[in-house]
């Protein structure tokens, strides 16, 4: 016990020494430029009214699902929701997971086998890395969005080959060159898997995602979509073939050995999709993105991004943290992303734009940023 407690204490001390200790903070009253609630769905009065009205049709609903999907936790409502999601995203099937983290761990830990190769972008999300770690496949990493580096790894790959990328990168806001990646995947007989966590709701017809926008639904082996970001609710789904769905039901431990999410969660997801289709939320968010990019004068420090995630690089943990503190002091919730979450020297402010951000708030934030930078 003494050894364990010493280890814990020393690890935390190290974080304090490096100025990288993570702590939880309560909610605040600052203007939101930090959440992933890009379309404002989680707080939308209209969506909440839709949900509350719909709920009246299910007076006997249960608070908990009752078990895992393979035991008592499967309900026809969930399967019908999965069908609707699959149709919307132009996929053969959809398999709901309790979170995006679970979906990635559940997919990558179960599908690639010993002797196979998973090739991932160096900036890929932690949930994918953890899924890969749980598989027995080899992992190659290619330089961010670099097709030459990807092809180099493809040449070295053995067994069944999986390429995994994000359509929109969560800490950079930029996009994978999916069309070119599809070509390479075909050339090397690899399966391309795309995490669309930050693309759904923002890109493509009614927010169907970048894969749909580019007409690549039939060229991508699987897509991971999440509901906790632009859709304002919670959970995720893996889109792919019906056979893939059956495979996951049989082999994906993150799906098999967990209690299914409750009905209320699935009803909220269904209502979020109804609301998503009800009007053009995309032009609202893209107007705000355009306004932000036009108003900010940060030169090359502002990374290229047409997504709701806008990045200003401020190298150094202390400098980035100080910039965030000054901005928060003026009433805007902007967070610094520090190393080791990003590479040392590329510390940054991650500014998320939302449909609940007023034009004046965006302009005022940009004025402040222009002064600080």
Ligand X SMILES: Cc1ncc(COP(=O)(O)O)c(C=O)c1O
Residue 10, Cβ neighbours under 10 Å: how many? 10
The footprint of ligand X on this chain (CB under 6 A) covers a number of residues equal to 13
Q: Applying CB under 6 A, which part among 99-107, 109-117, 244-252, 273-281 lies near ligand X?
A: 99-107
Nearer to ligand X, 226 or 317 (CB): 226
Residue 343: CB minimum distance to ligand X, A: 17
In the complex, minimum distance from the CB of residue 200 to ligand X, in angstroms, rounded to a whole number? 11
Residue 233 as a binder of ligand X (CB under 6 A): the answer is no
305 binds ligand X (CB under 6 A): no
Stretch that binds ligand X, among 59-67, 68-76, 98-106, 174-182 (CB under 6 A): 98-106
Binds ligand X by CB under 6 A, chosen from 207, 228, 232, 240: 228
Q: Are strands 117-121 and 309-313 parallel, antiparallel or unpaired?
A: unpaired
Confirm if 278 and 81 have CB atoms less than 8 A apart: no
307 lies in the binding site for ligand X (CB under 6 A): no
Q: Please, are residues 102 and 131 in contact by the beta-carbon 8 Å criterion?
A: no
Near ligand X by CB under 6 A: residue from 33, 41, 101, 221: 101
What's the helix, strand, coil split of the chain in %, to 5? Answer: 45, 15, 40
With respect to ligand X, which residue has the nearer C-beta, 110 or 127? Answer: 127
Site string for ligand X, 207-226 (x = CB under 6 A): -------------------x
Q: Which residues contact 131 (CB under 8 A, 6 or more apart)?
A: 104, 105, 106, 107, 108, 109
| Residues comprising the chain, all counted | 373
- 127 in contact with ligand X (CB under 6 A): yes
Q: Is 160 left (phi over 0), alpha (psi -120 to 50) or beta?
A: beta
Give the x-and-dash track for 185-204 against ligand X (CB under 6 A).
Answer: ----------x-x-------
- Closest approach, Cβ 236 to ligand X, in A, equals 5
Alpha helices in 233-302 (DSSP H): 242-251, 253-256, 263-278, 281-295
Q: Alpha-carbon Rg of the chain, whole angstroms?
A: 21
Q: Which two tokens stand for residue 238?
A: 């893996």
**Min dist. Cβ of residue 184 to ligand X (A):** 21
Residue 100 in contact with ligand X, rule: CB under 6 A: yes
Check: CB of residue 164 under 8 Å from CB of residue 120: yes
Which CB sits closer to ligand X, 170 or 357? 170
Q: Which residues, numbered 325-364, are part of the site for ligand X (CB under 6 A)?
A: none
Looking at 170, 233, 270, 328, which residue binds ligand X (CB under 6 A)?
170
Compare residues 116 and 195 and give the one whose CB is closer to ligand X: 195
Pick 93 or 104: Cβ nearer ligand X: 104
Cα(18)–Cα(21) distance, integer angstroms: 8
Q: Tell how far CA 105 is from the center of its chain.
A: 14
As a whole number of angstroms, the distance between CA 236 and CA 221 comes to 17
Kindly state the smallest distance separating residue 147's Cβ from ligand X, in Å: 20
Q: Is 236 in the site for ligand X (CB under 6 A)?
A: yes
Of 239, 155, 124, nearest to 132 (Cα)? 124
Residue 196 CB, nearest approach to ligand X (Å) = 8
Binding ligand X (rule: CB under 6 A), the pick from 44, 93, 99, 135 is 99
> Which residue of this chain has its Cβ atom nearest to ligand X in the complex?
100
Q: Which is nearer to ligand X, 27 or 60 (CB)?
A: 27
Write the binding mask 130 to 169 for ligand X: x where contact by CB under 6 A, - elsewhere: ------------------------------------x---
State in Å, rounded, how far the first CA of the chain is from the last one: 49
Maximal C-alpha separation, the chain: 59
| Beta-strand runs (E) in the chain | 31-32, 93-97, 117-121, 138-142, 161-166, 190-195, 222-226, 236-240, 309-313, 332-333, 335-337, 348-352
Which residues of this protein are in contact with ligand X, per CB under 6 A? 99-101, 104, 125, 127, 166, 170, 195, 197, 226, 228, 236
């Amino acid at each position: 016990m003494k050894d364990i407690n010493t280890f814990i204490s020393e690890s935390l001390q190290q974080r304090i020494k490096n100025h990288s200790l993570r702590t939880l903070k309560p909610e605040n009253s600052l203007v939101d430029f930090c959440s992933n609630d890009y379309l404002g769905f989680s707080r939308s009065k209209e969506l909440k009214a839709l949900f509350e009205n719909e709920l009246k049709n299910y007076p006997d609903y249960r608070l908990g699902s009752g078990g895992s999907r393979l035991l008592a936790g499967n309900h026809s409502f969930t399967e019908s929701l999965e069908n609707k999601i699959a149709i919307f995203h132009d996929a053969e099937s959809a398999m709901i997971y309790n979170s995006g983290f679970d979906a990635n761990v559940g997919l990558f830990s179960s599908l690639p086998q010993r002797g196979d190769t998973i090739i991932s972008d160096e900036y890929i999300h932690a949930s994918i890395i953890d899924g890969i770690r749980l598989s027995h496949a080899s992992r190659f990493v290619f330089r961010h969005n670099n097709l030459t580096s990807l092809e180099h790894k493809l040449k070295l790959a053995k067994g069944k080959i999986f390429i995994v990328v994000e359509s929109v990168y969560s800490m950079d806001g930029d996009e994978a060159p999916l069309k070119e990646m599809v070509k390479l995947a075909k050339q090397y007989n690899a399966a391309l898997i795309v995490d669309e966590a930050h693309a759904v709701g923002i890109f493509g017809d009614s927010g169907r995602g970048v894969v749909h926008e580019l007409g690549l639904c039939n060229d991508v082996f699987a897509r991971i979509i999440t509901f906790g970001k632009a859709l304002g609710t919670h959970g995720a789904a893996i889109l792919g073939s019906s056979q893939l769905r059956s495979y996951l039901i049989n082999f994906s431990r993150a799906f098999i050995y967990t209690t299914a999410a409750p009905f209320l969660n699935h009803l909220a997801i269904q209502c979020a999709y109804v609301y998503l289709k009800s009007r053009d939320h995309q032009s609202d968010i893209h107007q705000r993105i355009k306004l932000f990019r036009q108003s900010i004068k940060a030169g090359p420090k502002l990374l290229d991004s047409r997504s709701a995630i806008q990045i200003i690089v401020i190298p150094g943990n202390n400098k980035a943290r100080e910039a965030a503190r000054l901005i928060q002091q003026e009433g805007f919730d902007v967070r610094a992303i520090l190393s080791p979450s990003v590479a040392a020297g590329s510390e940054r402010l991650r500014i998320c734009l939302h449909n609940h951000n007023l034009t004046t708030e965006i302009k005022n934030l940009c004025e402040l940023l222009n002064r600080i930078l």
